[in-house]
Amino acid sequence: MTSIEVNPDLQKERSTCTFNIEELTNLLDTGVEHTAKRRALEDKIFNLKELKDVVPEEFLSHKDKYENAIRKAVILHTILQSNGSIKNISDNLDKSNFRSTSHSIFKDGSPFLLHFSMFVPTIVGQGDDEQKNYWLEKALKMEIIGTYAQTELGHGTFIRGLETEATYDENTEEFIINSPTPTSYKWWPGGLGHSSNYCIVMAQLKIKGKSHGMKPFVVQIRDEETHMPMPGVKVGEIGAKLAFNTVNNGFLGFDNVRIPRRHMLMRFSQVLKDGTFKSSSNPKLAYGTMVMVRVTIVNTACTLLSKAATIAIRYSAVRHQSQLKPNKPEPQILDYVTQQHKLFISIATSHAYMFCSYWLWDLFTNYRNEQNDGNFGRLPELHALTCVLKVISSKDCTALVERCRLSCGGHGFMLSSNLPQLYGLSTAACTYEGENTVLLLQTARALVKAWDQASQGIALNPTMAYLADRTPAGPWNSSLDGIIKAFQKVSVGKLSSSVSSFHEYAKSGLSMEDAWNKASVQLIGAAEAYGRAVVLSVYKAEVERYSKIVSSSLQTVLSDLLEMYIIYMALETTGDLLLYTQLSEKEVKALQRRYEDLLEKIRPNAVGLVDAFDYRDEVLHSTLGSYDGFAYEHLMEEAMKSPLNGEPVNQSFHKYVKPLMKGKI
């Protein structure tokens, strides 16, 4: 095959792009300086020969995959540490870090993921000053490696059902950590299997026979020299999974393991030497870490989707199939409008959630400052928002990653495309850090409360303020603001009918709990509708804000994507819009036409738009999505790396097949 720099199909797409790709990259990175910083780090990491896999990960055994991931994690950590990227993580956290791609050296996740995403943040969030000083230095230098263990075999969602116990012994000033039943074994924590030697264990605090609820304890689980499990600790790995196979998720049980009193993280609750329990005035203070992690999940979801979109759109630009017109060459599959319909929404959805995650981060940062001044007023809203945005971002991005995979036909089924792995990583986010349905029900609870408050004339927080407007929808208005308003009407309508159903069920004699359960399908619909209304208005507001600072050519592209997104969502929601607004069949047809015109408008910029996500080939890990567009050559190169192709005849032929063919068995 000829060796030219870039596939001419991709070259053509790039040369006809109407906007400056670099300008969009800078915008997504939240600034030119952040793009430069990110790229400098990527150059350092991805050019290192030791970090490149000679044999693709999918051909390795489970054990070899893990050992390779640990080897790479250590090299990566050394680079990040020398680069100053790992300082006090609370100082370092910033939305500009969202686009950091260094972790992409792992196709299936880092065994140290939980150390940085949960162990360190929990110490920062829940340790008192003395504890932070003690643990953070060790953790940031990687003198100790930690994880976060909450979920057990028997319970994940229902925290009060967790069974691991921490019983205080005032004679020795120690806690005794115990797993009283087989179902109390911790199950799932990343890095717990064989990577961590310390663990934050969530356990039921018991003092003198009285329970004080779940509290975080730092427990040493392996010896720092030999790495053998500590006495009384049973620890191991949980086995192969749909994704995250190199994250080394583990199980953990305790047989009366003693830890010092000060190993309970004591920022919000304290156990004094004599066993006196002191609790924070506001237990909700401890929610901060959880809220922050959910903000980052919104960003993770759209990052995974933007990678899938890059792969599928580049491939669709170089793949030719079938005929649009008789006697004409086979077109690029990207020219089929159904293909554009499958794919362009992934670009817009990536933008929508990326901008929302930045907005949410600013909201969270403001809240943190207010909290330091003793003001917790926005916490319930932030909690409801982060729950629903975590849910709809993970749900939408997972569905669209799968749509990108399907849009690549047979080749999308190859692990070397990386699309199946992106799906696995994405769908996991629908479960971890709060199962999606359970989180929707939490948002629903906040909405029902807000509904009642609005009924009493109490002012609502900004993102819920529209719930107070109970006037019926006016004539259909097809401007973007008009459609967003229509989504708010859907949200009000769904909340109103789910609240009525809940009250009717309660009046009919059901207990409040049973009435809630019976109305819960409607309630999660209302929660999702609130999330949709928020995303639409935030996405629009952010594009308008950016439009003031970008060139007019980029402004046009951003506005086209926004408009396509809003109309796509309206077309997906016609049932609800017909029910709760004055949308008519004629207007649905007009929206459909507008949507088809927008696909046509976006088509010339599709490759430029995904190039602007700026993922290097080492980050995409995809034969189909590489920057040069030589998908077939890369597919063949990767296939040749299969260990089965290392020899022309596999020994099994002589051992089993030949005897069968010769009738000798």
Ligand X SMILES: Cc1cc2nc3c(=O)[nH]c(=O)nc-3n(C[C@H](O)[C@H](O)[C@H](O)COP(=O)(O)OP(=O)(O)OC[C@H]3O[C@@H](n4cnc5c(N)ncnc54)[C@H](O)[C@@H]3O)c2cc1C
Q: Which of 125, 127, 189, 629 binds ligand X (CB under 6 A)?
A: 189
Per-residue burial over 8-46, b if 16 or more Cβ lie within 10 Å, else e, is ebbeebbeebebbbeebbbbbbbeeebbebbeebbeebb
Select from 19, 148, 254, 315 the one that contacts ligand X (CB under 6 A).
148
Pick 142 or 441: Cβ nearer ligand X: 441
Q: Which is nearer to ligand X, 435 or 617 (CB)?
A: 435
Q: Is residue 149 near ligand X by the rule CB under 6 A?
A: yes
CB of 124 to ligand X, least distance (A): 17
What's the token pair of residue 512? 């409040």
Active-site pick, 58, 163, 433, 563 = 433
Is-contact 252 230, C-beta < 8 A? no
Q: Which of 168, 175, 185, 188 binds ligand X (CB under 6 A)?
A: 188
Contact 21, 608 (CB under 8 A): yes
Cα(537)–Cα(315) distance, integer angstroms: 32
Pick the piece of the chain touching ligand X (CB under 6 A) from 153-161, 207-215, 396-404, 493-501: 153-161
Q: Is 112 in the site for ligand X (CB under 6 A)?
A: no
Instruction: Establish whether 190 is an annotated binding residue.
Output: yes
Q: How far is the CB of 48 from ligand X (least distance, A)?
A: 28
Longest dimension (CA), the chain: 90
One-character DSSP codes across 372-425 = HTT--TTHHHHHHHHHHHHHHHHHHHHHHHHHHHHHTGGGGGSGGGSHHHHHHH
User: CB 516 → ligand X: shortest distance, Å?
Assistant: 9
Among candidates 613, 631, 611, which has minimal Cα distance to 622? 631
Q: Which residue's beta carbon is nearest to the bound ligand X?
A: 156
Of 121, 125, 127, 190, which lies in the binding site for ligand X, with binding defined by CB under 6 A?
Answer: 190
User: Is residue 150 involved in binding ligand X (CB under 6 A)?
Assistant: yes
Among 102, 151, 300, 350, binds ligand X (CB under 6 A): 151
* Residue from 10, 45, 73, 114 in contact with ligand X (CB under 6 A): 114
Of the two residues 200 and 318, which places its CB atom closer to ligand X in the complex? 200
- For ligand X, the binding residue among 157, 256, 280, 508 (CB under 6 A) is 157
For the chain, the C-alpha Rg in angstroms (whole number) is 27
CA-CA distances (angstroms) from residue 502 to 387, 450, 507, 522?
21, 15, 9, 9
CB distance 141 to 131 below 8 Å: no
Among 111, 125, 127, 156, binds ligand X (CB under 6 A): 156
Which helix (DSSP H) or strand (DSSP E) does residue 546 occupy?
helix 520-547
Identity of the residue, 114 or 295, whose beta carbon is nearer to ligand X in the bound complex: 114
User: Which residues, numbered 384-443, are part of the site for ligand X (CB under 6 A)?
Assistant: 428, 431-432, 434-435, 437-438, 441
- Asked if 232 and 179 count as a contact pair (C-beta separation under 8 A), the reply is no
Question: What is the signed CA dihedral for 175, 179, 181, 183, rounded to 10 degrees?
Answer: 130
Footprint (CB under 6 A) of ligand X, residues 210-269 = 244, 249
Taking phi over 0 as left and psi of -120 to 50 as alpha, with beta for the rest, 510 belongs to: beta
The nearer residue to ligand X, 449 or 603, going by C-beta atoms, is 449
Number of residues that bind ligand X (CB under 6 A): 21
Question: Could you identify the residue written with the tokens 């001044």?
Answer: 373
> Is 151 a known ligand-binding residue?
yes
Q: Smallest Cα–Cα separation from 613: which of 346, 280, 223?
A: 346
Residue 433 annotated to the active site: yes
Considering the rule CB under 6 A, would residue 109 count as an interface residue with ligand X?
no
What residues does 343 pair with on adjacent strands?
none
Give the active site residues.
433
Residues that bind ligand X (CB under 6 A): 114, 148-151, 155-157, 188-190, 244, 249, 428, 431-432, 434-435, 437-438, 441
Positions at the binding site: 151, 190
Positions at the binding site for FAD: 151, 190
